[in-house]
């Protein structure tokens, strides 16, 4: 699933763009100013930024310049200014495209697709995404999100969750989990599995921890109703 950050000081414009994008099943985040946008980019995995030029404080050009100090995330400027010198300036700062307001949803989506294709940021998403309710696991990027928020997992925690989500409703013994997630020659005991399950549940949080069910006397399974 493509994730886009909408940056605009006008709430009405942010809502309009969000509606346009969500109709195409694009996940969105919103920022009302430049600093908020930079903070979100530092915390989240964003595939593309839609960046308004004329904002109070740090304008879009300032924000783009700061983004380019640390990231190559694609940036499309949104602006009411259509002067050629503004477009050239924005592109030279590192912007990838420039859309003049007002614009249609079809134009916006076409520009986004073109930029993602050109920059190589397009993701082969659906076949590599496992999901259960609001929990999503990206097999390629090894990224897990719940309620659109990143869940930071260690390698083994991710591998455990991946196995569970790949085979929901299958009951695994602790020994089977050790074999499949660790290795045949792993010398640790089954308590390692219990410890990782406990931390995995904690990281998933109260709303999602029950997805991993304990089957008393046997082991664990995923995705079963309580």
pLDDT at residue number 185: 59
Question: 4, exposed or middle or buried, with CB in 10 Å at 0-12, 13-18, 19+?
Answer: buried
Q: For each of the domains in the chain, give its residue range(s) and CATH number, in order of start.
A: 3-119 (3.40.50.2300), 127-222 (1.10.10.10)
pLDDT at residue number 176: 92
Residue ranges of the chain with per-residue pLDDT less than 70:
121-128, 184-188, 224-226
pLDDT at residue number 113: 87
User: Is 162 within 8 Å of 132 (Cβ atoms)?
Assistant: no
Distance CA 163, CA 168 (A): 8
- pLDDT tens, position by position, 49-87: 999 999 998 999 999 999 988 888 999 999 887 777 888
pLDDT at residue number 125: 38
- pLDDT tens, position by position, 110-131: 889 888 888 776 543 344 678 8
Q: Which of 45, 51, 70 is nearest to 123 (CA)?
A: 45
Distance CA 78, CA 50 (A): 7
pLDDT at residue number 77: 94
List phi, psi (to 5°) of 110.
Answer: -65, -40
pLDDT at residue number 226: 46
pLDDT at residue number 86: 81
């Amino acid at each position: 699933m493509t994730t886009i950050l909408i940056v605009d000081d006008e709430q009405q414009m942010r809502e309009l763009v969000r509606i346009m994008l969500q109709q195409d099943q694009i996940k969105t985040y919103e920022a009302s100013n430049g600093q908020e946008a930079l903070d979100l980019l530092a915390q989240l995995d964003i595939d593309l930024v839609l960046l308004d030029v004329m904002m109070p404080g740090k304008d879009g050009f300032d924000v783009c310049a700061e983004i380019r100090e640390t990231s190559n995330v694609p940036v499309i400027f949104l602006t009411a200014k259509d002067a050629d010198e503004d477009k050239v300036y924005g592109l030279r700062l590192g912007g990838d495209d420039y859309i003049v307001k007002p614009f249609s949803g079809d134009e916006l989506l076409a520009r986004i697709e073109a930029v993602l294709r050109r920059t190589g940021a397009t993701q082969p998403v659906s076949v590599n995404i496992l999901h259960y309710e609001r929990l999503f696991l990206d097999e390629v990027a090894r990224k897990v999100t719940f309620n659109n928020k990143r869940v930071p997992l260690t390698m083994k925690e991710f591998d455990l969750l991946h196995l569970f989500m790949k085979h929901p409703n299958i009951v695994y013994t602790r020994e089977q989990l050790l074999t499949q997630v660790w290795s045949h020659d792993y010398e640790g005991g089954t308590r390692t599995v219990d410890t990782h399950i406990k931390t995995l549940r904690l990281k998933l949080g109260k709303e999602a921890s029950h997805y991993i069910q304990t089957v008393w006397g046997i082991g664990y399974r995923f995705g079963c109703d309580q």
